[in-house]
Amino acid sequence: MNDFITVIGGGLAGSEAAYQIAKRGIKVKLYEMKPKKFSPAHTNKNLAEIVCSNSFKSNLITNACGLLKEELRLLDSLLIHIADETSVPAGQALAVDREKFSQKVTDVLKKNKKIEIINAEIGDENLHIRDLASRGIVIIATGPLTSDALTKEIIELTGDEGLHFFDAAAPIVEKDSIDMNIAFWGDRYDQERGKEEDIEEWKKRIEGLKDADYINLPMNKDEYDSFVNELVNAEVVELHKFEKKEIFEGCMPIEIMAKRGMDTLRFGPLKPVGFTDPRTGHRPYAVVQLRQDNSEGSIYNIVGFQTNLKFGEQKRVFSMIPGLQNAGFVKYGVMHRNTFINSPELLDDTYNFKDNKNIFFAGQITGVEGYVESISSGLVAGINACLRYDKISEQTNKAVFDEKTMIGALAKYISTENKHFQPMNANFGILPALDEKIKDKKIRYEKLSGRSLNILTHSMK
């Protein structure tokens, strides 16, 4: 067996993983295809390139990404330390000088005697995952724009169904923020009052539908018309050139569908057929459906609402839907190029590939979404790759982070069965609820963060 661990991809996740491995005294070979080859979004020859916004989001612990960063600081994340050192003024957010950030990560990793950086593309010429994994442990951290040659090799590992090429994700809201005086439970046709069905019997029957898969939001004609008018005029995100073709072929944004005609949505994702509004006893004019998104049932996605609307516009327009007027959005809809594997089928909660324990995945390719989330998965995969390296001939040890921490909740989310798996960023909706019910969001988030940091601090003693 190799006396080193291989990391493929020197982006945010791969650089963090390499550091964590070297810190534990194990040698690393870090393969990065730049500067020989660049993805359509990468331009800088350094490691840990920030491809777009220079913001690592909020530093407040009442923000989910703020909590994740705080956890990573406790866990000695190299990249978060360097982000702090190279930060630029951005109010409560952590924004970095992108050039200094990448340069510093590159310098630190280059100087580390345990780390050898090799500029080569895996999947090309004589470098293949299967060979590397047959001789030792490999972490694949090649990001949302993994090269074509390596993508082919990943498909060989995961099967055709195991890999996705773009996100077409609908927004996700916290269940507790849905107005259940307006919303009602039930699957299409199951919930509808039958022609002969006694009204009292029906009311009793639908009371028992609380475990149904869907929460439904009924609209009358005025509400529907105002919603569609705002939707078609809302501001959208400008896509990168390399993204445009693939997305529109694969899946249609809700705002584009709405532009086809006033009734298009009513005959599509907002179809009211098969429902009776318990408040009126009649079929609504349109129905928006919400589907459970995590196993705890604390977050719900808006079915069919994949969108390119700007985030602020999503909040404004989607909050017009009756029942969502106070919705807490834990994730906004996105549509962009993104290579990611079907992690719930393929990975465990340490980002380890179930079919070949010598392989780990890390970063955006696992279905975590965002800079900080990618760093967090690199840290978890790096630590667990070391445990596997140490115990290779014995029973393997795992370092699973508590699901009440954000770092643990993300690992759990991507590895838990989910028929409609879509990438996920840090958000409070994926943490298990507190024992007490707290209505005030700020206080609730403070308590959730306090609980997480407490657990992490104690586990490190």
Ligand X SMILES: Cc1cc2nc3c(=O)[nH]c(=O)nc-3n(C[C@H](O)[C@H](O)[C@H](O)COP(=O)(O)OP(=O)(O)OC[C@H]3O[C@@H](n4cnc5c(N)ncnc54)[C@H](O)[C@@H]3O)c2cc1C
Residues lying near ligand X in the complex (CB under 6 A) are found at: 8-14, 31-34, 39, 41-42, 51-53, 121-123, 141-147, 150, 240, 363-365, 370-371, 374
Separation of alpha carbons 403 and 416, rounded Å: 12
Return the number of the residue (272 or 367) whose C-beta is nearest ligand X.
367
Provide the minimum distance between the beta carbon of 64 and ligand X in the complex, in angstroms, as a whole number.
13
List strand residue ranges (DSSP E) for 82-171, in order.
87-88, 93-96, 115-118, 137-140, 163-169
Interior/surface letters 151-175, b for 16+ CB within 10 angstroms, e for the rest: bebbeebbeeebbbebbbbbbbbbb
Dihedral sign for Cα 357, 360, 365, 368, please: positive
Q: Which residue, 19 or 371, is less far from ligand X as judged by CB?
A: 371
> Cβ of residue 127: shortest distance to ligand X, in angstroms?
8
Residue whose beta carbon is closest to ligand X: 11
Q: Which CB sits closer to ligand X, 239 or 433?
A: 239
Please say which residue, 110 or 442, places its beta carbon nearer to ligand X: 110
Nearest-angstrom CA–CA distance, 291 and 363: 26
Query: Looking at beta carbons only, is 170 or 287 nearer to ligand X?
Result: 170
Min dist. Cβ of residue 13 to ligand X (A): 4
Contact 444, 434 (CB under 8 A): yes
Q: Which is nearer to ligand X, 12 or 206 (CB)?
A: 12
| DSSP label at residue 74 | H
Query: How many CB atoms are located within 10 Å of the residue 179 CB?
Result: 13
**Taking the complex as a whole, how short is the minimal distance between the CB of residue 317 and ligand X, in angstroms?**
22
**Which CB atom, from 139 or from 234, has the smaller least distance to ligand X?**
139
Write down the least CB distance from residue 221 to ligand X, Å.
Answer: 39
DSSP letter assigned to residue 79: H
CB atoms < 10 A from the CB of 384, how many? 27
Asked whether 383 and 391 are in contact (CB, 8 A), the reply is: no
C-beta of residue 66 within 8 angstroms of C-beta of residue 74: no
CB nearer to ligand X: pick between 148 and 355: 148
User: Looking at beta carbons only, is 35 or 297 nearer to ligand X?
Assistant: 35
What is the spatial distance between Cα 194 and Cα 256, in angstroms, rounded to a whole number? 35
Please, what is the minimum distance in Å from the beta carbon of residue 53 to ligand X? 3
Query: Please, which residue, 19 or 31, has the CB nearer to ligand X?
Result: 31
Q: Please return the burial class of 24, using the count of CB atoms within 10 Å of its CB with bins 0-12, 13-18 and 19+.
A: middle
Nearest distance in Å: CB 425, ligand X: 8
Closest approach of ligand X to the CB of residue 345, in Å: 19
DSSP string, 299-337: EEEETT----B-HHHHHHHHTTSTT-TT--EEE--EEEE
Residue type, 431: L
Instruction: Name the β-bridge partners of 31.
Output: 8, 118
The set of residues, in sequence order, having a beta carbon less than 8 Å from that of 409 and lying 6+ positions away, is 403, 430, 431, 432
Q: From the CB of 80, what's the least distance to ligand X, in Å? A: 13
- Find the shortest distance in angstroms from Cβ 15 to ligand X: 8
